[in-house]
Amino acid sequence: MRLLLLAIVLACFAGNGFAAERPNILLIMADDLRDYGGAFTREVVKSPNLDRLRARGTTFARAYVQYPVCNPSRSSMMTGLRAEQTGIVGNDIPLRQKRPGIITMPQLCKDAGWQTHAFGKLYHLGGGKDPAKQTVWMDTGRSWHTAQAFDATKAGRTILQGRNVTGGALNWCHWGAADGTDDDQSIRTTRWRFTHWSDVQTELYDHDNDPEELHNVASQHPDVAKGLMATLRKIPKPQP
């Protein structure tokens, strides 16, 4: 935990030459994971894209969580403090309620001149369907210039199979395999990777000329994108 925080802080406060370049900083967070597969040191889950991404950065393999729920670990990652120091030991209280004046990792970069934006689950996402409460939980305005939670498509919210792993003791503790439409799906060939998002935006990457996927070339190759979209629509959907 401390090492990862240090890496980002150094990016914000390094010497003038480095700071003047303002390098992009990408933080990907995932919790509730066990120690397997690809990026998680054991070859149980195959994650070639994650492996390719982490090969360009640093993997911290000893960043252990302190509590078996989301909010304490995410608050610790964002502040560099243990859960006993933040006062966050459950999923019921947002960070600022306990530590209103705390300077978070993205806030540090934001105050140093970076544009900071969040998509998905960086802090624990509480607040239910109340937009004002969701803003508080995501710490919009303090940590981020903008923050947006991921919203699955209607089909993507349909669970085909799954079960509660606690026998019903905890309503939220379950796994599920969700349905899906052509939205939010990708297809990969030897040269191209094409993604069609739920907001009707598309991405097309040419791995022959851009193996790191830095440039979306969907507008330059509309015929390729159209063909891959047609192929994507033909892929059979999973049956319940």
List of the chain residues with pLDDT < 50: 1-18, 182, 238-240
Query: For residue 14, what pLDDT is reported?
Result: 44
pLDDT digits (tens, 9 = 90+) for 185-213: 677 787 888 887 655 678 888 988 887 67
- Please tell us whether the domain made up of 153-240 is placed in CATH 1.20.1070: no
Query: For residue 182, what pLDDT is reported?
Result: 47
Query: For residue 54, what pLDDT is reported?
Result: 80
Pairing label, strands 146-148, 117-119:
parallel
Query: For residue 82, what pLDDT is reported?
Result: 92
Query: For residue 39, what pLDDT is reported?
Result: 63
Is 205 buried (19+), middle (13-18) or exposed (0-12) by CB count in 10 A? buried
Query: For residue 26, what pLDDT is reported?
Result: 86
Query: For residue 32, what pLDDT is reported?
Result: 66
Contact 185, 232 (CB under 8 A): yes
Domain ranges of the chain: 2-30+65-148, 153-240
Contact 180, 153 (CB under 8 A): yes
Contact 182, 174 (CB under 8 A): no
Tokens 């503790």 locate to 173
Buried b (16+ CB within 10 A) or exposed e, 5-26: beebeebbeeeeeeeeeeeeee
Query: For residue 205, what pLDDT is reported?
Result: 87
Query: For residue 15, what pLDDT is reported?
Result: 41
List residues with catalytic annotation: 70, 124
